[in-house]
Amino acid sequence: MSEQTVQIRTSGKVLQSPCGPIVHGLEDVLIKNTTISDIDGEKGILWYRGYRIEDLAKFSNYEEVSFLVLYGRLPTRSELKEYERRLKSSRDLHPATVEVIRALAKAHPMFALEAAVAAEGAYDEDNQKLIEALRVGRYKAEEKELAYRIAEKLIAKLPTMVAYHYRFSKGLELVRPRDDLSHAANFLYMMFGKEPDPLAAKGIDLYLILHADHEVPASTFTAHVVVSTLSDLYSSVAAAIAALKGPLHGGANEMAVRNYLEIGDPSKAKELVEAATKPGGPKLMGVGHRVYKAYDPRARIFKEFSRDYVAKFGDPKNLFAVASAIEHEVLNNPYFQQRKLYPNVDFWSGIAFYYMGVPYEYFTPIFAVSRVVGWVAHILEYWENNRIFRPRACYAGPHDLQYIPIDQR
């Protein structure tokens, strides 16, 4: 190893070290082949299993999209009906899991969601069978069937976990899931105790479609790392939730809405955007993306829904008006144009949530309710050619130091 100076930067892609180049943050490092989703960041295109997100958002619903993401193809009518039945039959939680959520009623819901997923895994007999099989290196047809059954359970149960935490946090009685409501409508029903307005249910369903998968961001990579050890699906999803709750990943839509509320007046947008171009200036939440160097297609879709929502229910806090004014300034500012910084889906998604009465802290849990299908699909795909992750670090410290007894230091 050479004695060259270690050069570490906090931004940028490749860092130099005595051992050679380091790809900081593993940016653009490939970890596997996938057929689940693809992104063209330069053109602003997102596909699930080869289907454009615009078509799925227009013609499909979350149940059908989650089947597509999980099983790799669009279902027939009878397959979709049976899949919906299985999801509805799996919405309830183990009583011990409910008590875990109750005990964490005053905690942030992302902490409760992590704990609830882990608890449910501890009591799922299918999960225990799969764990025993994996311990002896067995993962064949029977085990794969178990894994897909567990995956469906996780998709079905996460909305219940989030809704139950909301009810406990407000000191309200639980609202049990109904099997005559869609995935999105049932979620709002369990949260608020009444059948939701159809437009609100459509908005949740649309949000779930748009966030179902996005290749390998931090939370999905975390799920890969955990499952590569042959840990179970519940533990891998709990770990993914832990990664998602970081403000650099899943919390941007909450911060965007908070910013809009603080600004309050669309006329302040130009001054804010100008300030954001200066060193040490404010960060515009929901602007820019690690992959997209064009307008996020999901943002365009949810912007249109948000426009429809405020057209029906009003915009008393000027959230849509402020966001529209900021977007106008961003799109016409050379600083953002040159750096290819455009609004992403977080820029628009929190507005409708706020007006539906969803508290800020539940924005990211709803993200998890959607993304769980992507997590489990990637887990199952990786298990088809599993290898434990074991990266290396370049040691840049001294060697062979002489130990000094404590009374001589």
Of residues 165, 211, 289, 378, which has the active-site annotation? 289
Is position 92 annotated as part of the catalytic site? no
- Cα(263)–Cα(354) distance, integer angstroms: 16
- Cα(34)–Cα(124) distance, integer angstroms: 29
28: burial class by Cβ within 10 Å (0-12, 13-18, 19+)? exposed
Residue 302 contacts residue 349 (beta carbons within 8 Å): yes
Upper half-sphere CA count for residue 243 (Cβ side, 13 Å): 20
Q: What angle do CA 371, 374, 379 make, to 5 degrees?
A: 130
**Which residue bears the tokens 């434990």?**
388
Residue 208 contacts residue 62 (beta carbons within 8 Å): yes
Q: What angle do CA 188, 191, 193 make, to 5 degrees?
A: 90
Backbone dihedral region for residue 285 (phi beyond 0: left; psi -120 to 50: alpha; all else: beta): beta
- Map residue 238 onto helix, strand or coil: helix
Is position 179 annotated as part of the catalytic site? no
Residues catalogued as catalytic? 289, 346
